[in-house]
Amino acid sequence: MTVLRSLIFTLWMYVGSAVIAIVSVPLLVLPRRGTVGLLHFWGGYVRLGLGLICGVRIEVRGTAPTGAALIAAKHQGLLDIAGAFTLLPDTCFVMKKELLAVPFFGWYALHAGMIVVNREGHSAALRKLVADTLDRMQLERQVVIFPEGTRKAPGAPADYKPGIAALYRDLGLPCIPCATNSGVHWPAKGIMRYPGVVVFEYLEPIPAGLKRGEFMKMLEERIETASQALLDEGL
């Protein structure tokens, strides 16, 4: 039954997403807020199908920010992106440049003002990341960065990259860690979707002004400890 539900949901998501993307093309010539609304609609569409078809519901713990915020989130799969569009009012993801080549997705992401990073750019890329994030903060957006840079299977060893440290230092703002168990119910690979509860847990903000090493250690400890605790709950 889980296999059948997973297949039905896969059709629901990809066929529906394609239709939504095609009929919404006119939004690309309108102001950014229209595309942001589209992404919220798409996230809700995915979340609805996940609940009705696969028996997966989303639970939020802690307080999701509503104004300008820097969020460092655990990344285990696509639901971390679709889910965030339903939880945050003006989500702005830090994404790798290669994703712009994905038809429709890249167009909408660019028009919505996502922050695009060239991972081959080294110090220049970090400077642009900081400048673009400062720009988005002026619009009271919630900037979400995945500090490991890519998806990780639940329980896999952590591998935090320096981009988040540069943002934290130069923005002079608190950083909100976010833990999850999303990969248990929506693995990064394959079509299987497993029933249960996906938790997005917004943890206590890390105050501004810590030294780089202290900040990185605290960030990793908080996210990894909370994410492992969610796995141990067996939701």
CA nearest neighbour of 78 among 212, 185, 218, 210:
185
Total domains in the fold of the chain: 1
- pLDDT of amino acid 186: 97
Kindly give, in sequence order, each residue whose CB lies less than 8 Å from that of residue 87, ignoring residues fewer than 6 positions away. Answer: 58, 60, 64, 200
Mean pLDDT of successive 10-residue stretches along the chain, which has 235 residues: 96 96 96 96 97 98 96 97 96 92 91 89 82 94 95 94 89 95 96 97 97 96 98 93
Q: How many CB atoms lie within 10 A of CB 49?
A: 19
Instruction: Please state at what angle helix 79-87 crosses helix 32-54, rounded to 10 degrees.
Output: 120
CB 32 within 8 A of CB 111: yes
Q: Which domain holds residue 126?
A: 2-233
Q: What is the pTM of this model?
A: 0.95
Question: Domain of 39: which CATH number?
Answer: 3.40.1130
- pLDDT of amino acid 190: 92
- pLDDT of amino acid 8: 97
Biggest alpha carbon distance in the chain? 51
